[in-house]
Amino acid sequence: MLWNALTIAVREIRRNLLRGFLTVLGVVIGVAAVVIMVSLGQGATESVTSQVESLGSNLIMAIPGTGVGPSGGSAPGFRLSDAEEIAAGVSGVRAVAPLRMVGAKAVYLQEDWSTQAVGTTVDYFSVAGWAFAEGRPFTEAEFVGARPVCVLGNTVVSELFGQQDPVGARIRLKGLTCEVVGVLAAKGQGAMGQDQDSVVVLPLSTVQRRLAGRLGDRDVDRMMISARDGVSADRVVRDVTDVLRDRRGIRAGEDDDFSVLDTKEIADALSSTTKILTYLLGAVAAVSLLVGGIGIMNIMLVSVTERTREIGLRMSIGALPREVLLQFLVEALVLSLIGGLVGIVLALVVSYVLAQAMGIPYIIDPRINLVAFAFSAAVGVVFGYAPARRAARLDPIEALRFE
């Protein structure tokens, strides 16, 4: 009986391909949306992880507050002396770069560009892996003297100077005039899709005294620590934590009010955000699959009315109500399965193209394809039921007389 229903349903679909296409369009789009969203999200997660990990396994971050992101706002910042003590006192540490970041508008003649001013030490360039395209880093003397000198990221150069040579020029940052001494080689997009080259690097002392809003500000927002080769990151994290607890006067038994993370932990923290986003997007897309199901129900209800005479004929030649029910259910199921398959193929193509365009890895996750496929089958059965039942309840005489 099931095989029979399948034969009849497939013939019925073949008989009116356009109707079938319109019926499943919603499911095709719904399934494609789910699969595209999730696979792009997974690609983004993958790209975050791999970019952070490409920073090298010996990079460690110290951030006030616990957890990555805006949650750590209330904890006090670090001091330059924290960085100095870590550099001097923790044996596994190669160098420490304290960072103070201030949003600032950079102005050169008529051009301006909103960017990030980073105050740091000379070690920053090696710790963060910057190469110089032109010029030089600021010197120790310039650092100590809090001189108004700066090093520009590639984006800032192209926005302010175009093709001109910026080295030696003077730009204005929030009212501070400073001389450009060097240009950083481009790095491209960062782990979260931000432009890493939109940056102006200055001596920490210059930023603290002359750019930060408050007078006598000595805060440091975070520290980038690079461990010596061959030293376990875990040990350095532990030692740095001990030093910082001591310096911040945290007693035994009290919780840290700062985090020290190695690259793996940073990657995990960042990718957990994109993972949540992925599931959110997937859920939104799943709603469109649901709407696709309602589309199936809608068109099948119309088609039951349109096919009333056909149903009457089938019943008059001996089709049982439950066979008519089964026929319509199987029809809805077959259609939505085809829709699911087409949607998956469409999603594979579209997410490949989008992944290329967005420069993120192209990931095929069989699980999400399976789930979307199963979901489309469920949609077919659930939303095919009402029309099928309506068809099965028709009276053969009235159905045959239907105009």
Partner 1 sequence: MTSRAPIIQLRDVTKTYGAGSTAFRALNGIDLDIKAGEFVAIMGSSGSGKSTLMNILGCLDSPTSGRYLFAGCAVEGLSKEQRALIRRHYLGFVFQGYNLLARTSALENVELPLLYRGMSRGERREQARRALDAVGLLPWRHHASNELSGGQQQRVAVARAIATSPRVLFADEPTGNLDTKVSREVMELITDLNRTQGITAVMVTHEPEMAGYADRIVTVVDGTIASDSRRRGDGVESEVA
What residues line the site for partner 1 (CB under 8 A)? 1, 4, 7-8, 11, 15-16, 309-310, 312-321, 323, 396-397, 400
How far is Cα 95 from Cα 87, in angstroms, rounded to an integer?
Answer: 6
Of 147 and 314, the one with the shorter C-beta distance to partner 1 is 314
Handedness of CA 39, 42, 44, 47 (dihedral sign): negative
Of 314 and 390, the one with the shorter C-beta distance to partner 1 is 314
> Crossing angle, helix 17-54 and helix 366-392, to 10 degrees?
160
Both structure tokens of 384: 């095919």
Distances (CA, A) of 279 to 220, 276, 285: 35, 5, 10
Of 169 and 400, the one with the shorter C-beta distance to partner 1 is 400
Q: How far is the CB of 333 from partner 1 (least distance, A)?
A: 19
Asked if 343 and 292 touch (Cβ cutoff 8 Å), the reply is no
Asked if 259 and 101 touch (Cβ cutoff 8 Å), the reply is no
Of 10 and 131, the one with the shorter C-beta distance to partner 1 is 10
Asked if 311 and 382 touch (Cβ cutoff 8 Å), the reply is no
**What is the SS3 assignment for 370?**
helix
Of 89 and 396, the one with the shorter C-beta distance to partner 1 is 396
DSSP 8-state class, residue 192: T
Q: How far is the CB of 314 from partner 1 (least distance, A)?
A: 7
Of 30 and 312, the one with the shorter C-beta distance to partner 1 is 312
Instruction: Decide: residue 236, CB within 10 A, 0-12 exposed, 13-18 middle, 19+ buried.
Output: buried
Measured in degrees and rounded to the nearest 5, phi and psi for residue 57 equal -75, -5
Q: How far is the CB of 312 from partner 1 (least distance, A)?
A: 8
Q: How far is the CB of 320 from partner 1 (least distance, A)?
A: 5
> Crossing angle, helix 366-392 and helix 263-306, to 10 degrees?
20
Both structure tokens of 175: 């009212």
Asked if 43 and 363 touch (Cβ cutoff 8 Å), the reply is yes
Q: How far is the CB of 14 from partner 1 (least distance, A)?
A: 9
Q: How far is the CB of 48 from partner 1 (least distance, A)?
A: 53
Q: Are strands 199-203 and 59-64 parallel, antiparallel or unpaired?
A: unpaired
Q: How far is the CB of 19 from partner 1 (least distance, A)?
A: 11
Q: How far is the CB of 305 from partner 1 (least distance, A)?
A: 16
Of 354, 379, 294, nearest to 38 (Cα)? 354
